[in-house]
Amino acid sequence: MRQATASRLSGTFTALITPFTDAGEVDEFALRRLVRRQIEAGIQGLVPCGTTGEAVTLDPEEHERVVAVVAEEARRSPRPVRVIAGCGSNDTRKAQKLAKRCGKAGADALLVVTPYYNKPTQKGLIEHFRAVADAGELSIVLYNVPGRTGVNMLPETVLALAEDPRIVAVKEASLSLDQACEILRSRPAGFAVLSGEDSLALPMIACGADGLIAVVSNEAPRSTSELVAAGLSGDRDRAAALQAKLFPLMRANFRESNPIPVKWAMQRLGVCGGALRLPLVPLSASHHAAVEEALRIVGLLGADGKPVEGAL
């Protein structure tokens, strides 16, 4: 099934926030506006219903609807924009059901996180991902983020799964360049390695990675896309300059648990509301100034504190 992705995944993919109304419902109008902003900025792909999208607080019907809305907007794009829908769970059966829903909703591929809380063995991880692949007809992007899940998927496990043609990429967010390099040096042809940490995208690309699944591109999609494109094309000076420009915002986005800061920032920019679902709560006032300053450095807020019209 590796050929189903048409080519190896490459570029910038935005881990989308899920806008909610003040009443706590999914805000479809704001979601469509968010997606159109991403497409206008040149993003290669969209990743709804992941960690940044508060997927664990969405019920199955909401989850499917969010993916469907994103897929509808992606299909309206004048250029190809891939939709990689999150369908992870610590219950393999639930992940299988979500995989089917995401396929029905129009996703192009699935982002499947390692099961959290259960702490499965490496053999258990292999069986989990293969079972999810069995349940659907879409390609799988593995997602390794031990800081959130409590389990680290080792390079040898990733490489074993990479031999399955249905498994086409890994979002590597272990914070270990050594681990990423172990995967990169032995991966099969066609298998993509994408950074799952914004600030490590450029170092990973220098080691051979193919791109980034980003949080910061919610706020600054064009600059993030240009950073990754410059890194992939070998334009070192341009990539380094963009990294320096975006780095304060990359850091500010993790002053509290993701997506708390980025949702506050998106509200500050007037893109959508900043409502979160419990147990997440709004960004502490002590962090507001740092996030605002990072938005100014990127050029999204002016010196007058107002959003810069047309800035992406």
- Give the 3-state secondary structure of residue 141: strand
> Which residue out of 97, 171, 245, 306 is catalytically annotated?
171
**What do you get for the CA distance between the two ends of the chain, in Å?**
35
> Which residue out of 104, 119, 143, 263 is catalytically annotated?
143
Structure tokens at 304: 């007058």
Residue 47 C-beta-side C-alpha neighbours within 13 Å? 32
Gap between the Cα atoms of 215 and 261, Å rounded: 10
- Give the 3-state secondary structure of residue 112: strand
DSSP state of 272: S
Report CA 189 to chain centroid distance, whole Å: 23
Beta-ladder partners of 111: 86, 141
Contacts 24+ apart (CB under 8 A), 289-293: 290/252, 290/255, 291/249, 291/252, 291/253, 291/255, 291/261, 291/264, 291/265, 292/268, 293/248, 293/252
175: CB partners within 8 A, 6+ apart: 147, 197, 200
Q: Known catalytic residue: 171?
A: yes
DSSP state of 312: -
Q: Known catalytic residue: 143?
A: yes
If one counts every other C-beta atom within 10 angstroms of the C-beta of residue 310, the result is: 6
Output phi, psi for 299, to 5 deg: 95, 15
If phi > 0 it is left, if psi is from -120 to 50 it is alpha, else beta; for residue 54 that is left
Active site residues: 143, 171
